[in-house]
Amino acid sequence: MPVFDKKYKSRYTTFTRRTVGVGGTMSLVFAVLAGRLYQLQIRDGEEYRVAAENNRVSQRPLAPPRGRVLDRFGAEMATNRRNYRVMIVAEQAKDGVKEALDQIGKVIHLTEAQKKKVLADVAKNKKFVPVPVMENMSWEEFSRINLHLPYLPGVQPDVGETRDYPFGAEMVHVLGYVSSVSPDDLKDDTDPLLDLPGYRIGKRGIEKAYDKELRGKGGDTRVEVNAYGRIVRELGKDPGTPGQDVWLTIDCELQRFADQRLGQESAACIVMDVETGAILSLSSTPGFDPNWFNVGVTNSQWKDLSTSDYKPLLNKAMGGTYPPGSTFKAAVALAAVDAGIATPDYHVNCSGVYNFGGHAFHCWQRKGHGTLDIEGAVQRSCDVFFYETSRRLGIDKIEAAARKLGLGTPTGIELPGERSGLIPSRAWKQKTYGWSWQQGDTISVGIGQGYVTVTPLQLCQMMARIAGGKAVNAHMVHSVGDKVLEQESVPHLDFADESLAVVRSGLNKVTNVPGGTAFAWRINEPGMEMAGKTGTAQVRRFTKEERARGLISNHNLAWKLRDHALFIGYAPIEKPRYALSIIIEHGAVGHPHVEMARDILTFAQKRDIVARPTAYPLNSASATRDTRGAQNATPSRKEPG
């Protein structure tokens, strides 16, 4: 073959091979592209269409109106009000945000701290996002901003909603308050509403206990946004489901009156329906304005609240534990009668001192009370009688009786933070101290001292059980929305009726027979008489040296060294309807607590709370949201007891 033909053929073969290689490579590339297009458009097309739509359309959570809290007659205790506020949009502030804030400061008062916060918020957000400058403005401030609006570029007035507590400090320990969401709140709650800027949830009281019911179900708004996230237009809106109203058994007028009578004492007072256990009033003073936490507590306000000796942050009614003092004698008396010890023939002679085991246990009456039976001992609050009686009873029977009356265990009330107090036992002391129980311990417990502690709420429940003879349980929530919270049937108290009658007779003598420790403060109006038991609880132990020198009267002691003053009672004597307990911390100077109790029980009876028709929602038709008219609701040596 010619040389030319060989070269041509070799060159042709090389060209063909390259063509096939390039063609194959291109075919493979096109095949990959075609496969990728199939994946994007056919197999995963729907997914990418949704993603593209989400880039164009943003769905944002929307907070519904928070439910209200109402009293038994429909008075609004917690509601919502308009929140007048002013916002600033950085990109619209022609001369800069700092200059705009200075201009706003000429119209309404802005502190330097507020200005720094706004500048920090502006720096964290996009320039077209409105940033709050001031919230909860007065109508006058809001009006001034609107009047000067043409000269305030970038400023936007806005009207939102915020929580409002019309009764202020008077209801704070019942309602609690709402405040900003903390990182700890987010750990246990995944509700997207909590991610909303400025959203507030319940922190104490009913607001916390029924937060999810009150907050409702969040809605959302669908808006079209551009590539920078700026809202172009609103496409749709779902307002969500408003929070449910919570109806309480509280009577605002009675609560207001009780708070006014307690004044600025460090005190607590509870009034309960004897028949049902429904709480009609639960006061703890001093309180604080819950609106502070909604708007924002200042450093000085928080310092005052957290350092005060009067403990305004503590709900003393159910979170404070105290020695019950002589009020505990009602439980010991009932145990003694029911056990067959305190029979009609049973008497104890009081000389002023009870000697036992080499120790002298003193009566508050230095000269003694003479010989007394059980009713006389309750009437005169004789310590020596109860020293001897409790020794005979023993701690086991005292503990059993106290627990039947609801002491030493939480009542189960719907408010968070309730404490249980302590009713000591043999097993408890052995476990706690590693020592066996002694009769001297029983003697101290017999007059409400020693290891025993209770809450004022437990004392009120005990009084209601003794007065009505039923094992009622304290509660204060009647219904949530239209759903009534059914209460369990109330069983008879596990004491003989005859035993209860004897103790009631003694309690009647305390207030209505001369010589009773509360006789001077009795209710004189016929048909409204009260029965009760005074109590004085020591806050420190007296030494032998102090007794030898002579004990200093509470009047002459520093406030923190004075004894606590307590009273438990019920009214009227015939067919009891209202039970009460009251404590004034370090208040055993005279008997102001008994006078307060008398006035509060008189007010409750004249108002005839339990007999009046209520406004509780019986069905959806009657659960009206227009109850604004109801807002105007009128609203040392131990001393005797």
From CA 152, how far away is CA 155, in angstroms rounded? 6
- Write out the two tokens for 346: 């049973």
From CA 147, how far away is CA 295, in angstroms rounded? 24
50 domain residue, yes or no: no
DSSP 470: B
Per-residue model confidence (pLDDT) at position 350? 97
- Final residue in a domain of this structure, among 186, 221, 247: 247
From CA 590, how far away is CA 514, in angstroms rounded? 17
The boundaries of the domain holding residue 39 are: 3-43
State whether 522 and 390 are in the same domain.
Answer: yes
Distance of CA 587 to the CA centre of its chain: 25
54 domain residue, yes or no: no
Longest CA pairwise span in the chain (Å):
153
State whether 348 and 236 are in the same domain.
Answer: no
From CA 603, how far away is CA 613, in angstroms rounded? 17
589 domain residue, yes or no: yes
Residue in this structure with the two tokens 């507030």, named with its chain if needed? 200
DSSP, collapsed to helix, strand or coil, labels residue 212 as: helix
Nearest to 451 by CA among 412, 398, 386: 398
State whether 82 and 17 are in the same domain.
Answer: no
Separation in Å, CA 102 to CA 47, 52, 146, 157, 606: 50, 42, 16, 17, 58
State whether 95 and 33 are in the same domain.
Answer: no
Question: What's the burial of 25, exposed, middle or buried (CB within 10 Å: 0-12/13-18/19+)?
Answer: exposed
Per-residue model confidence (pLDDT) at position 522? 97
Helices 395-404 and 329-338: crossing angle, nearest 10°?
A: 110
β-bridge mates for residue 58, sequence order: 223
Q: What is the number of structural domains in the chain?
A: 3
Beta strands, E only, 381-480: 477-480
DSSP, collapsed to helix, strand or coil, labels residue 601 as: helix
309 domain residue, yes or no: no
Per-residue model confidence (pLDDT) at position 622? 38
Question: What's the burial of 297, exposed, middle or buried (CB within 10 Å: 0-12/13-18/19+)?
Answer: middle
447 domain residue, yes or no: yes
Per-residue model confidence (pLDDT) at position 321? 96
Beta strands, E only, 2-111: 57-62, 69-70, 76-88
State whether 258 and 395 are in the same domain.
Answer: yes
State whether 384 and 515 are in the same domain.
Answer: yes
Per-residue model confidence (pLDDT) at position 542? 57
pLDDT tens profile 210-254: 999 999 988 777 766 555 445 566 667 777 889 999 999 999 999
Strand 246-248 vs strand 69-70: parallel, antiparallel, or unpaired? Answer: parallel
DSSP, collapsed to helix, strand or coil, labels residue 72 as: coil
From CA 579, how far away is CA 255, in angstroms rounded? 14
369 domain residue, yes or no: yes
Count other Cβ atoms within 10 Å, centred on residue 17.
10
Nearest to 424 by CA among 569, 561, 324: 324
- Give the angle 283-289-292 at the CA atoms, nearest 5°: 150
626 domain residue, yes or no: no
State whether 227 and 361 are in the same domain.
Answer: no
pLDDT tens profile 366-391: 899 999 999 999 999 999 999 999 99
Contacts of 521 (CB under 8 A, 6+ apart): 511, 591, 594, 595, 597, 598
For 81, phi then psi, to 5°, come to -135, 170
The CATH number of the domain holding residue 504 is 3.40.710.10
State whether 209 and 323 are in the same domain.
Answer: no
From CA 287, how far away is CA 284, in angstroms rounded? 7
State whether 262 and 324 are in the same domain.
Answer: yes
Q: CA neighbours within 13 Å on the CB side: how many for 639?
A: 21
Q: Dihedral sign, CA of 547, 553, 556, 557?
A: positive
State whether 389 and 518 are in the same domain.
Answer: yes
What global pTM score does this model have?
0.82
635 domain residue, yes or no: no
From CA 155, how far away is CA 93, in angstroms rounded? 8
From CA 601, how far away is CA 4, in angstroms rounded? 130
Contacts of 193 (CB under 8 A, 6+ apart): 61, 63, 199, 215, 218
Helix (H) or strand (E) holding 301: helix 299-307
- Final residue in a domain of this structure, among 192, 218, 247: 247
State whether 190 and 269 are in the same domain.
Answer: no
- Write out the two tokens for 42: 């056919």
| Rounded CA Rg of the chain | 36
DSSP, collapsed to helix, strand or coil, labels residue 573 as: coil
State whether 484 and 408 are in the same domain.
Answer: yes
From CA 117, how far away is CA 100, in angstroms rounded? 14
Given a cut of 50, the residues of the chain with pLDDT beneath it are: 4, 228-229, 619-641
β-bridge mates for residue 268, sequence order: 284, 583
- Write out the two tokens for 630: 């109801």
Nearest to 259 by CA among 167, 178, 164, 324: 167
Separation of first and last alpha carbons in the chain? 139
The CATH number of the domain holding residue 222 is 3.90.1310.10
Helices (H) and strands (E) counted in the chain, each on its own, are 23, 21
Per-residue model confidence (pLDDT) at position 230? 53
- Write out the two tokens for 481: 């929305």
